[in-house]
Amino acid sequence: PAPDTYYNQQDLKLTSAFMEQVIKTGKGSIELELICKDGRKIPTEYYVAPITDEENDKLYFVSVGRDMSERIAMEERLRQSEKMQAVGQLAGGIAHDFNNQIGGILGYADLLREKLIHDSELVALADNIILATTRASDLTSQLLAFARKGKYVAIAVDLHQLIRETVGVLHHTIDKRITIKEHLDAPN
C-alpha cells in the first residue's frame, strides 16, 4: 500500500489464507480495502503470482493492484439502471391493464349517459364520470409512454377550465357542508 494507507484487520486475516492458495495454484487475486489516513476507503483488487529465486531458493510474490472504485460505481449505476428498466416495464404492464379497465368504465358511462338523456342532473354526473375517466386514460397513456421511453409532447392547457372541471366533479362527490371557492388568476 501507499505510505498514507493501511488495510483493515479483517482483510489482513484473509491474506494469509489467500497467500497459501497462491503458492498452491501459482496465481490468484484478492480484493482488499485500503484505508487512507483521512478515512477514505479504497476498494483494491490485487493480482498475485509467486516467483522462486532459484539461486537463493527463496519465494517472492509479484503483485499488481488496481483501484476498483470506478468499476464499483459503474456496477452500481448499472444496477440502478436495471431497476429503473424493471420499474418502467412494471408501470407499462400496470398502465396497460388499467387502461383496459378504464375502457370498460368509459363504455358503461357512455351507455348510462344515453339512458339518462332526459335527466340533465344525471347526465351531468355521467359527463363527470366520462371526464374523470378520460383524464385517467390520459395518465395511463403517459405511464405507457414512460415505460416505452416515448417522446413527451408539451401542450398548452387552459388551467382555468381544468380547475372548473375538477371543481365540478368535486361538487358531486364531497360532503355538501364543504364549500369550494374558486379564485382563478392564471395568465392567459
In tens, the pLDDT along 45-59 reads 888 888 888 787 778
DSSP, residue by residue, 74-111: HHHHHHHHHHHHHHHHHHHHHHHHHHHHHHHHHHHHHH
Alpha carbon distance 16, 28 (integer Å): 13
Write out pLDDT tens, residues 121-171: 889 888 989 988 888 888 887 777 766 665 556 677 778 887 888 787 777
